[in-house]
Amino acid sequence: MTYRRFGETGLSVGPLALGTVNFSWLTSEGDSFAILDRAFEAGVNLVDTSDNYNAGQTEALLGRWFAQGGGRRERTVLASKVYSPPMEWGSGDPALRSGSWVGPNQRGLSARHIREACEASLRRLNTDHLDLYQMHHVDRSAPWEEIWQAMDLLVAQGKVIYVGSSNFAGWHIARAQETARARRGLGLVSEQSVYNLLKRTVELEVIPAARAYGMAFLPYSPLAGGLLGGRPTDNERGRRAFLPPSPAVDAFQTLCDDLGHAPGAVALAWVARQPGVTAPVVGPRTLAQFDASLAALDIALDDEVWARIDTLFPGPGGAAPEAYAW
């Protein structure tokens, strides 16, 4: 496992991050532990979760995995998120948290919610600190001075080491960083956004902003929720089984067949090699899926193949404003 710097910090992470959105939801605790153990053995040290994954049950599962000892917590770069109230997946009601009522102050990025959410995450995760605490979304109602005051306090208390963002626009990153700079703070060290062959909008401003501020960039959904995983089999269930025909995806499948690689592996390898990318976040449901993600990191293709892939899935034209202006 080759490690790299996490942005311009002194932190080191592997080239792949383990996302846990399926744990305790679509993946049983035993299978989740098996995936976590495989990642641990392979040297994948960045584990990403959120307080709203399965009403907080995913964080609690990770807490039980850490409780087994063996250096699990010490060797893990643990990342969680704050914004939404913990909710049951599929409940359709973000105001439900394990059967209890959630008021207007149990969401967003107010100083109060940041403090309460962090304390709750630490309890569930069975740890005294988060290595990376990410704002899961922008909160247009919370002033940046308030947000940074709350985050700086958590850092001063030793409950959070680094602060990151997720689903931010480029100008949100700039405002956050300039406010932190005025307060003489470290600011955001990472941004986590959706990025794959089908969704390349972040190339316009988000990735350039992250690079300009020396931030790590963590692309999630590198397989577009499985849509880039290849043609579904006759017996396969899930979203891919109901996909409408797509000439680009079909051509990508044919190209990957000719190369002798699974489409999902090539799609992940493409994301991993893009400029500014630190570590793609994969969310395996099975151990086999995680093993396939590890193997994808070893795929080496020539520039002509990468150019053909870019032709099949053209991006926005590069960074803004050159992508749309002279």
Cβ-count burial of 179 within 10 angstroms (0-12 exposed, 13-18 middle, 19+ buried)? middle
Q: What would the two tokens of residue 280 be?
A: 């793609």
Residue in 53, 83, 162, 195 annotated catalytic = 53
Rounded Cα–Cα distance for residues 133 and 79 (Å): 6
Report helix, strand and coil shares of the chain as percent, to nearest 5. 40, 15, 45
Phi-psi region of 204 (alpha: psi -120 to 50; beta: other; left: phi over 0): alpha
Paired residues of 79 in beta bridges: 48, 132
Rounded Cα–Cα distance for residues 155 and 133 (Å): 10
Strand 46-48 to strand 17-19: parallel, antiparallel, or no bridges (unpaired)?
A: parallel
Q: What would the two tokens of residue 305 be?
A: 């193949």
Strand 216-220 to strand 130-135: parallel, antiparallel, or no bridges (unpaired)?
A: unpaired
Closest CA to 16 of 51, 50, 48, 62: 48
The yes-or-no answer on residue 53 being catalytic is: yes
Catalytic residue annotation? 53
